[in-house]
Structures are given as C-alpha cells and as structure tokens.
Structure 1
Amino acid sequence: MKRLIYFLLMLFVFVASCNTQRKASKFRFDTPEAGTLVKKGESIPLKLVFPSEISSFDSIVYAIDGEILARKTDSTPVSLDTEKAPFGSRTLSAKLYHGGEEQIAYSNIVVVPPAPKRYGFKVVHEYPHDPEAYTQGLEFDHQGVLYESTGQQGKSSIRKVNYQTGDVLQKAELDAKYFGEGLTIVGDKIIQLTWREHRVGFVYNKSSFAKIGEFTYGQSPEGWGLCYDGKRLIKSDGSSKLYFLNKDTYAEEGFIEIYNDKGPMDSLNELEYIDGKIYANVYTKDFIVIINPDTGAIEGEINLIGIYPDKQEANNELNGIAYEREGKRLFITGKNWRTLYEIELVAR
C-alpha cells in the first residue's frame, strides 16, 4: 500500500512538473496578465515568455486591437501608452516569426478612468409625490413644467405634474400590454420608451398627449432610461452601454460603454442630461453616476443612501432625476415614493 501511495505521489509530481515545463515553454505574455485593470494614460510594459526551444527569432509584431503597436527583433519589453486607448477591454497580441514559422500570444487589459469624484447631498426642499406612481422617467421642460412616465403593466402612463403639490394635471395611459419606461422631451414632442416585450417607443404631442408615432428598437434590446442632449436621444437598456438615437427617426446611431475605475458599470437606468453630462440612476442602488458622454467615463458619484426613510419594498428604489434649468435645481424621486426631493450636491 505504501509503495502504491509513493508511486502515485511521484506520478503526480512528474505530471505537475511536465505541466509547469510546458507552461514555461509556451510563447505567451508574462505581463500584463489577462484582465489587468489599467488607468487611462498609464504606460505598461509588454513582456513575453519565449519557448525554450527557440534561441533566436526574426521578429515580433505587437498589436492592440489588431493595430500594430511595434515591431522588434529582440526580446526586450515594449511600452504601451494607454492615453489614446478607449475604455474597456483591449486585446493585446504578439506574433513571433522564426525560421519561416510563426506563433502568436494573446492577453488583454481593461482600460478604466480615474476614480470618480464623490458627492453627498443636502435636501433643499421636499414636495409631495404620488405614491401610486411607479416612476420610470422624470423631466422638466424649458418652461419649468414637470413631466413623468410611470411603469407596471396596466398602470403605465405619461403625466404632466404640478411638482409643488404633486397633483397630476394631465395624463395619458398606455395599453395594458405595455410596461412604460423612461421619457424625454424634444421640442413639442414627448418620447417614451417601453420595456422589453414589444421593443417599442412612443411619440406624443406634448400639448394634447395624443400619440403621433412609434418606433422599434435596434441592437439595444430593452427600453429603460431616456434623455436628450440637444442633438440626439440617449437611451439605456439596463446594461453598461448607452445608445445614441437620431432625434427625428429614432434609429440607433452608435453607443458608448460606461466605466468607472473598477470596470464596466451595469444596470444604468433613468437618465438626465445636465450641463454636458449624463446623470444616471443605477438599478436597485441608492446612488447616481455622472457620465462624460464623449468618453463613457464616470466622473462623479452621488451617494443618496438614506434620503428616503420609507423605502422598504423590493420595487421601491430610487429612480427619477429631473433638472430645472432656469433655477439650476436638481430633483430626485423613486418608484412609489411619497416625496419628490430638491437636493444640492455636497462634495466629499
């Protein structure tokens, strides 16, 4: 029995040794390891491990996302400057040419922005809010009138609201088969998303609330949040991507991926465009992120933990950002909340 155990132990050591030798002799990246987080603008060394049987070679071609970075005839590391690299996962490759043959090694890095600025909040004023409103979208027009979209099958609507009293001044209900989502205002139109079953958005006359059009989604499979930057619509779908839509045809014209210093930010929800930045709720979280729409970098994070003491239900989360431009006032609420809050940000 002891001999058997000894034999098995030696066999294990032998196999492990062989595996180690095979790993050591494989052409591969030593640094960076796959998935390494790199702050945008940092320079990192690309260092390779060469097969033991190769003592010389003709050349190595380094590339990032398929674009050639450098050609070398020696094994010294190459420096990669990430200043111009987009945020997100970037594929690294090194192709080794020797004796008419070639080998290729791969790795990847995740380029991320610096840590965002941190903000707390100060409540300036509290206003009544309809506790039956499952808020999905919230926006002031240029006259300071508040519009709101609500969700849930059989309860979805768009509304014109007196924000000071919470009274609903005007309302249009959706067919019960639709689950209402975010809204935004473009001139004399209200654009509203629905969730996922029918992949459709609606266009309303802002004055009469009459439905005057509809559109279907493109690559973005669901409707969550919506805002308008003056040139294009910006749409979320619960992922880490924000999609740009043509303001007239509602066709998708591209997207950006959203990152903070830890990686991609998933579950982006209700949106508001404020002074050149996108403010976004994060589904089920009590914070709002501030996004640079040109780069996708999260530049700020607003911690709103504790703002609504009555929050207790699972579907009772923060969801609703509105900016009153003339007074430069920021408002937030949530699904079925009894309160609409006017807040000021407090830098930390």
Structure 2
Amino acid sequence: MNRIIYFPLVLLVFIASCNTQKKASKFRFDTPEAGTLVKKGESIPLKLVFPSEISSFDSVIYAIDGEVLARKTDSTPVSLDTEKAPFGSRTLSAKLYHGGEEQVAYSNIVVVPPSPKRYGFRVIQEYPHDPQAYTQGLEFDHQGVLYESTGQQGRSSIRQVDYKTGKILKKTDLSPNSFGEGLSIVGDKLIQLTWQEKVGFVYDKNTLTKTAEFNYGRSSEGWGLCYDGKRLIKSDGSSRLYFLNKDTYAEEGFIEVYNDKGPMDSLNELEYIDGKIYANVYTKDIIVIINPDTGAIEGEINLIGIYPDKKESDNELNGIAYEREGKRLFITGKNWPKLYEIELVAR
C-alpha cells in the first residue's frame, strides 16, 4: 500500500524536476520580466538565461522594437537606457546564434513618465449654472463669451451662456436621437461631437445655426474636444487622443496617454491651456494635464470636495473652460448648479 502511494509521488517529483531543468535550459530573458514598468530615463539590465547545453556561441543580438541595441559574444548583461524610448509597451528581443542555428527570446517593458505634479485647488468665485445642463463641453471664445454643449438624448443642446448670471443667451437643441458631447471653437465656428452616433456638427458661432456635419474615423465614440490653434484634439473614452484636421475634421494621428502607472483611459472633456491638454477623468474628481507631444501626464489636479452635493452617477465633474484674457480657469459638472472659478495650488 505504501509503495503504491510512494511511487506516484516520486514520479511527480521526477516530472517536476525535468520541467524545471527544461525551463532552466530554455533561452529566455531573466530580467526584465514581461510587463515591467520602467520610468523614462531609467537604465535597466537585460539579462538572459542561456541553454545549459551551450557553453559557447557565435553571437547574441539584443534589440528593442526591432532596432538593434547591442551585439555580444559573451553572456554578460546589456544595459538599456530608456531616455529615448517612447511611452508604452516596448518589445525586447535577443537572437542567439550557435552552430548555424538561431534561437530567439522575447520580453517587453512598459515605459512610463515620472510621477505627475500634484495640485489642489482654491475657489476664487462661484457663479450660477443651469442645474438641468448635462455639461459635456465648455468653452470661452476670445471675447470671453461662454459656450456650452449639453448631453442626454432628448435634452442635448448647444448654447451661449452669460457665465456671470447663468442665463442662456442663445440655444439650439439637437435632434432627439443625438447625444451631445465635447465642444470647441475654431474661428467663427463651433465644433460639437456626439457620443455614439459617430458624427460631429459644425455651427455658426454667432447664430448657433448648424452649417455642416462630419463623420468620425478610427475613434469609436465622441467624448471631449479642444483646439490647439492648429488642429482639433478629440477623446473617445480610451487612453488615446486623436488629432483632427481643423478644416476637414479628418483624423490625422493620435497619441497614447500615460501616467506613472501605465495607460490612462476614461479621458473625457478637454481644454487646451498654455501648450498642455487638460482632461477630465470620467467618474473621478480629477483633471490631468497632458503633454500633447509625448502623451505624458505631467500634472494631476485633485478636485475632490469642490461640489459636496454631488450624486453617485450622472453628476460627474465634466467641464473645463479657460478664459484666456484674464487667464482664469473655470470648472463645472453634469447638472451642477454652480460654475467655479478656481486657482491651482501646488502640493
């Protein structure tokens, strides 16, 4: 009886030992482990495990994203400097040449930016805001006139607002099937997104009369929109921001947005301020500050507590507007009764 129990146990140990030896003899990366987060600018060692049956080899070639990093004839580790590596997942490979044969090992790292600067806030002034406005886009023009896009099917609109009183000066309702989203201004035109209809609307800024429509490209939905003076920048709820031609509205590229923990998705309403993109993070009382050239999140504004009566859903922070003449920052949210002028406080 004891022998019957003992034999399978010995067999399992033997199999496990063989598997361990097989793993140990396989050509592979020892470090870094796949998916390792590396902050841009850090140097990390690339260390390989070589097959146990190979005592010498012709060469090993290291590469990152297919670009050769180093060629070696010994097994000492290679140092990878990530200063010039783009953010995101980077593929590492090593090709071992021995006896006319090639073996390949793979791993990957995720290059992320340094931790963002942290900001709190101070409320400078409060203004009335329509509590029935499901705010999706908020924008001042160069004359200091406030425009707002509101959402929800059957309630969506584009409007001109007296921000000091909250009074609606002009308003155009969308069709009942349209769900209004992000808003931006290009010259004398208002550009408004819709959520899942994959279509955007163009209006005359002065009359709020719709003059044109355009279809989306690869981006699946319409969330936020801003203008950097040369191109429109669009979010779709993912970690990507898309660049649109300001005249044709065609997508002409995108960036991936990263913080120090990896890709940042749920990017919502956008505003372009002094060379940076400010973005609401959906369902969170947070605004992130994004470098449009690299996609790095360089700052994070914590707005927890600014509107203490906020409900759990359909009441999120979602509205950023910058009054450029006075360099004033305003925020609000969906169905909030207040528009807040705030000042950032570094932490």
Which TM class, normalised by the smaller chain length? Answer: over 0.9
> Equivalent pairs: percent with the same residue?
85
CA distance in 2, matches of 1:186, 1:252: 16
Show CA shifts across 1:97-140 (max 9, x none): 11111010000001011100000000111111111111000010
CA distance in 1, matches of 2:302, 2:7: 60
1:315 matched to which residue of 2? 314
2:206 matched to which residue of 1? 207
CA distance in 2, matches of 1:3, 1:333: 76
Do the aligned partners of residues 308 and 2 (structure 1) sit closer, same or farther apart at CA in structure 2, a change above 3 Å counting? farther
Residue 9 of structure 1, CA deviation: 2.3
Q: AA paired with 2:213?
A: E
Alignment of 1:108-187 (within 5 A): 108-187=108-187
Show CA shifts across 1:192-237 (max 9, x none): 00011x2111111111111111111111111100000000000000
What SS class does the counterpart of residue 127 from structure 2 fall into? Answer: strand
Residue 277 of structure 1, CA deviation: 0.4
TM-score by length of 2: 0.98
Residue 15 of structure 1, CA deviation: 2.0
2:275 matched to which residue of 1? 276
What SS class does the counterpart of residue 309 from structure 2 fall into? Answer: coil
Q: AA paired with 1:222?
A: E
1:222 matched to which residue of 2? 221
1:347 corresponds to 2:346: yes
In structure 1, runs of 5+ residues without a counterpart are: none
2:61 matched to which residue of 1? 61
CA distance in 1, matches of 2:338, 2:4: 74
RMSD: 0.9
Show CA shifts across 1:73-99 (max 9, x none): 111111111111000000000011111
1:91 corresponds to 2:91: yes
CA distance in 1, matches of 2:80, 2:109: 11
What SS class does the counterpart of residue 47 from structure 1 fall into? Answer: strand
Pairs aligned (count): 347
Residue 56 of structure 1, CA deviation: 1.4
Residue 178 of structure 1, CA deviation: 1.0
1:189 matched to which residue of 2? 189
1:43 matched to which residue of 2? 43
CA distance in 2, matches of 1:129, 1:161: 9
CA distance in 1, matches of 2:252, 2:163: 34
What SS class does the counterpart of residue 41 from structure 2 fall into? Answer: coil
Q: AA paired with 1:221?
A: S
CA distance in 2, matches of 1:131, 1:95: 62
Residue 13 of structure 1, CA deviation: 1.6
Show CA shifts across 1:224-273 (max 9, x none): 00000000000000001101011001111111111111111110000000
CA distance in 2, matches of 1:306, 1:234: 29
What SS class does the counterpart of residue 15 from structure 1 fall into? Answer: helix
Residue 5 of structure 1, CA deviation: 3.1
Show CA shifts across 1:155-187 (max 9, x none): 111110011111111111111111110000000
1:337 matched to which residue of 2? 336
Q: AA paired with 1:90?
A: R
CA distance in 2, matches of 1:119, 1:5: 65
1:247 matched to which residue of 2? 246
1:8 corresponds to 2:29: no
Residue 67 of structure 1, CA deviation: 1.1
Do the aligned partners of residues 6 and 251 (structure 1) sit closer, same or farther apart at CA in structure 2, a change above 3 Å counting? same
Residue 11 of structure 1, CA deviation: 2.4
Mean CA deviation greater in 16-25 or 138-147: 16-25
Residue 2 of structure 1, CA deviation: 3.8
Residue 12 of structure 1, CA deviation: 2.3
Residue 14 of structure 1, CA deviation: 1.8
TM-score by length of 1: 0.98
CA distance in 1, matches of 2:126, 2:4: 77
2:21 matched to which residue of 1? 21
Q: AA paired with 2:42?
A: E
What SS class does the counterpart of residue 306 from structure 1 fall into? Answer: coil
CA distance in 2, matches of 1:323, 1:170: 20
Show CA shifts across 1:141-161 (max 9, x none): 000000000111111111100
Q: AA paired with 2:214?
A: F
Residue 17 of structure 1, CA deviation: 1.3
What SS class does the counterpart of residue 111 from structure 1 fall into? Answer: strand
What SS class does the counterpart of residue 14 from structure 2 fall into? Answer: helix
